[in-house]
Amino acid sequence: MPDETQTVTREMTPAAGGGAVAIEDRGAIRVLVIDNPPVNALAGRVRAGLQAALRTALADPAVDGLVIAAAGRIFVAGADITEFGKPPLPPALPDLLDEIEVAAKPVVAAIGGAALGGGLELALACHVRLVCPKAQLGLPEVKLGLLPGAGGTQRLPRLLDPAVTFGMIASGKPVDAARACALGLAEPAEGDLVGAAVARAEALACVGGPLPSAGERQADPTRREAFETAADKAIAADRDAFNLPAIADCVRAAFGDDLAAGLAVERAAFLDLMNDPRSAALRHLFFAEREAGKVPGVGRDTAARPITHVAVIGAGTMGGGIAMALVQAGLKVTLIESGADSLARGTARIHDLWANSIRRGSLSEEQAEARRALITGSIDLSDAAGADLVIEAVFEEMSVKTELFDRLDAIVPPDAIVATNTSYLDIDRIASAISHPERVIGLHFFSPANVMRLLEIVRGAATAPEAIATALALARRIGKLPVVVGNCPGFVGNRILGPRGVAAERLLLAGVAREAIDTAVTDFGFRMGPLAMGDLAGLDIGYRNRRAYGGFAPIADMMVEAGRLGQKTGAGYFAYPDGTRQGVADDAGAAMIAGKAAELGLAPHSLETPDILARLFYPMINEAARILDEGIAAGVSDIDLVWVNGYGWPAWRGGPMHWADREGLSKIADKLGQFAEESGDERLRPSALLARLAAVGGRFADLPRKS
């Protein structure tokens, strides 16, 4: 036990755990202050520091009680996730919390900010919890594919309504201080939080007798049925939430009267999940999101321009959605169209969507009114003059975009940021149509733009760091996940989508049934197969692109030329009789596909699901490796974020690059070589980076991020 914990001073003393826990004595109450920036995660040295300080205080007759507080704006963000999957460092968190719970002197948690995961579990092991008004309490482990593994599934349902607490654990959503107090999870503290906690510890010490404990009684048996109903509903509602059954089992164990037995059930389930590759994938994405904020050339000190007023040009599918996303966050929007009819159509669509939300109960009439008031429609481009940011979402035609930028040049001030929502076009060519190209940036929203979380921020050759910093700040303000990418046709997401489309066409030509292709992909975990997705978006979009820029999709071309444009015309790859949205593999379509294969001299093959997936996904991995090699993505995990958040790659598979590492890069490279031989498509040959990694048994995960 480190000597420093013996120190009793009126000053804050850096103490055990290499300074991660400081000690201050206030009268007979010892205050332990966790100080482990940035988020006070319960790393090994924090646990060791707390344990040493606790034991010292319990053995010290001059100490009557303890307060556990934390430095900084966050109480404790939970266990240290970077330690997961590594050899465990003593003491284990559950053991430390057991020691706190059975301490003979009162221990009060003083929660000044977020107490999440292990942070809330630490507080639950304390005898009393005091919260200041901005505290947030929650168990978000579910989002990492885990469950609370330090007593959360046992102490919380034993303390509060088990049905309510199951909801908290299953959703991972925190409650605020007011709700925590209303539930009986914590007591409110106004003003000096630590002072109030010290007073509470003194009072408990003074009263004497048994100390309150969250785990002292079993979960309320009268709420068992409500819990079971809530658990069944949650499990049925989310097929991806693989950890919910284990969470329900743990909470079920809280109905037993033996806390230790319940804790053992929880521990075993936690360790199982910790070793589950699906949890590893979700943890990878947690860190990927934080990595994506580290953008080469853009530092913390790069000034972001304040944005209050945005001009959105084009009120079609994307412009309307973008306008909605902006006003949802309280920004003022001028929505500009080329004509009164298209403006009226666009505005009506927005109002209809809000009306639907009101009907569903997810939006109040007052909120809708406030949003409506923030949008001003116009058919006069000069109304963009007052905006700090312009986002164009007009037709995907280079000439339309450059003409618009040329006109904007005379309208917007030279420091206004001008963004394009183009899906594929060259940002630098668009930027060349306006003066000060350093303020031009791509803001590639995904459809529906008011819902989808991903925002690809495209940096052109001239784009200034300030423009990127502004886009990042805006993205966060409107609740998007920004990923900064470089300029190339299709950027990261759509460029990787391209090879999958080609592969799907080749599979069709090889005689693989349409439903076999889509089912392989939906069974893998996507919500939609590539053919159904093409039909939903409209096959004519790709067709027009291929006419302009080339590309391989003989079946889609044939379908479009036969008037089968997708769902909107009742048929595309699949048929959609009577307006159904579920595609049917119709005979007419099958005959057309077989006819095209015969015309190209291709004999039908039969392929098993793993082969179908390899042919669809390996070419995507190859293209992604090229993207990395070209520096279009700054880091491997950025690609995973784009595909998980923009294209439905199942999160529990971690994204294409994470998945590829698990598949094995040499296997992927070998197969790609074989596909290239068979098809004569040289693009399928393993890219330089993939070949290099495959040759040395390397992994994408080991590649450094560009800085």
Instruction: Give φ, ψ of 542 to 5 degrees.
Output: -65, -40
Residue with tokens 């978006």: 537
Beta pairing class for 389-392 and 136-138: unpaired
Please return the burial class of 642, using the count of CB atoms within 10 Å of its CB with bins 0-12, 13-18 and 19+.
buried
Q: Does 310 participate in binding ligand NAI (rule CB under 6 A)?
A: no
* Of 232-240, 417-425, 506-514, 697-705: span binding ligand NAI (CB under 6 A): 417-425
Q: Which two tokens stand for residue 123?
A: 């507080």
Distance (Å, whole) CA 421 – CA 491: 12
SS3 per-residue string spanning 552-572:
CCHHHHHHHHCCCCEHHHCEC
Q: Does 70 participate in binding ligand 3HC (rule CB under 6 A)?
A: no
Question: Residue 498 CB, nearest distance to ligand NAI (Å)?
Answer: 14
Distance (Å, whole) CA 663 – CA 574: 31
Which residue's Cβ has the minimum distance to ligand 3HC? 117
Kindly identify the residues of this chain, within the stretch 278-317, that bind ligand 3HC according to CB under 6 A: 287, 290
Question: Residue 529 CB, nearest distance to ligand NAI (Å)?
Answer: 18
How remote is the C-alpha of 445 from its chain's centroid?
A: 15
From ligand 3HC, ligand NAI, none, interface partner of 447 (C-beta below 5 to 8 A by class): ligand NAI
Three-class secondary structure of residue 185 per DSSP: coil
Three-class secondary structure of residue 705 per DSSP: coil
Show the site string, 262-301: x = touches ligand NAI by CB under 6 A, - = not.
----------------------------------------
Question: Residue 532 CB, nearest distance to ligand 3HC (Å)?
Answer: 34
In the bound state with ligand NAI, the residue whose beta carbon lies nearer, of 216 and 341, is: 341
Closest C-alpha among 449, 537, 547 to residue 497:
537
In the bound state with ligand NAI, the residue whose beta carbon lies nearer, of 113 and 493, is: 493
* Of 178-186, 315-323, 550-558, 640-648: span binding ligand NAI (CB under 6 A): 315-323
From ligand 3HC, ligand NAI, none, interface partner of 404 (C-beta below 5 to 8 A by class): ligand NAI
Q: Which two tokens stand for residue 506?
A: 């080749």
Using the rule CB under 6 A, which residue among 291, 396, 438, 681 binds ligand NAI?
Answer: 396
Kindly identify the residues of this chain, within the stretch 96-115, that bind ligand 3HC according to CB under 6 A: 114
Cβ(404)–Cβ(392) under 8 Å? yes
In the bound state with ligand 3HC, the residue whose beta carbon lies nearer, of 270 and 526, is: 270
Question: Residue 337 CB, nearest distance to ligand NAI (Å)?
Answer: 5
Q: Does 394 participate in binding ligand NAI (rule CB under 6 A)?
A: yes
Using the rule CB under 6 A, which residue among 41, 126, 307, 556 binds ligand 3HC?
Answer: 41
In the bound state with ligand 3HC, the residue whose beta carbon lies nearer, of 67 and 74, is: 74
Question: Residue 656 CB, nearest distance to ligand NAI (Å)?
Answer: 20
Task: Say what the alpha-carbon torsion angle 500, 506, 508, 512 is, to the nearest 10 degrees.
Answer: -90
Question: Residue 450 CB, nearest distance to ligand 3HC (Å)?
Answer: 23
- Looking at residue 647, its amino acid is Y
In the bound state with ligand 3HC, the residue whose beta carbon lies nearer, of 80 and 518, is: 80
Distance (Å, whole) CA 132 – CA 150: 24
Distance (Å, whole) CA 303 – CA 233: 47
Closest C-alpha among 669, 654, 648 to residue 701:
654
141 is catalytic: yes
Which residue's Cβ has the minimum distance to ligand NAI? 316
Kindly identify the residues of this chain, within the stretch 19-38, that bind ligand 3HC according to CB under 6 A: 38
Question: Cα separations (Å) of 133 from 190, 290, 292, 642, 681?
Answer: 7, 27, 31, 36, 62
Residue with tokens 């044939």: 558
Q: Which two tokens stand for residue 295?
A: 């953008």
Q: Does 74 participate in binding ligand 3HC (rule CB under 6 A)?
A: yes
* Active-site annotation holder among 4, 141, 266, 456: 141
In the bound state with ligand 3HC, the residue whose beta carbon lies nearer, of 288 and 613, is: 288
Q: Does 77 participate in binding ligand 3HC (rule CB under 6 A)?
A: yes
Cis check for the bond before 38: say yes or no (omega within 30 of 0).
yes
Q: Does 483 participate in binding ligand 3HC (rule CB under 6 A)?
A: no
* Of 35-43, 277-285, 333-341, 456-464: span binding ligand NAI (CB under 6 A): 333-341
Q: Which two tokens stand for residue 555?
A: 């079946």
Distance (Å, whole) CA 472 – CA 490: 20
* Active-site annotation holder among 101, 121, 266, 456: 121
Using the rule CB under 6 A, which residue among 31, 69, 404, 693 binds ligand NAI?
Answer: 404
| Chain positions contacting ligand NAI, by CB under 6 A | 313-319, 336-338, 342, 346, 393-396, 400, 404, 421-423, 445-447
Catalytic residues, which ones?
Answer: 121, 141
